[in-house]
Amino acid sequence: MKAIFFISFFSTYLFSQIIDNSFITKFEYGAMLYANPRGVGCVLCHKNGDKSVIIAKYKKKDKKTKKLVEKEIIAPAINKVSFEVFLDKMTSDKTESRIMPTYFLTDDELKSLYFYIKNIKKK
């Protein structure tokens, strides 16, 4: 009897992890966050997240040569970064970058967003 209860309990737990019966799935929630987390969406700069994207080109005077040099602001590919790097970039002080917005996402939002980024092409 105990074995039947254990197998029943374990299989119920296992299937609850595979089948997501919530109102919105983790992937769907991550997609919403990717499109518009808190104002400027990730998709605007990172597109599908699978390759680097040139956000802007500008000219800047080189201090040594005094000539105008063409520069680019590039959004990196984000679908292959580790969770640790993702978390560091999303929660770091933005004064060093001045490009990446600060979103103030919760831990659950960050996990859902990362889940979406890692699975964006698989859906």
Number of residues that this document lists for the chain = 123
CA distance 45 to 53: 7
* Helix (H), strand (E), coil (C) string for 55-71: EEEEEEECCCCCCEEEE
pLDDT, mean over the chain? 82
Which position has the token pair 């790097």?
Answer: 85
Residue-level pLDDT at 102: 80
Q: Where are the chain's structural domains?
A: 22-49+77-119
Give the model confidence (pLDDT) of 17-64 as tens digits: 455 556 889 999 999 999 987 777 899 889 999 999 999 999 999 999
Mean pLDDT of 1-21: 53
Mean pLDDT of 95-106: 78
- 25, exposed or middle or buried, with CB in 10 Å at 0-12, 13-18, 19+? middle
Model pTM? Answer: 0.70
Residue-level pLDDT at 53: 93
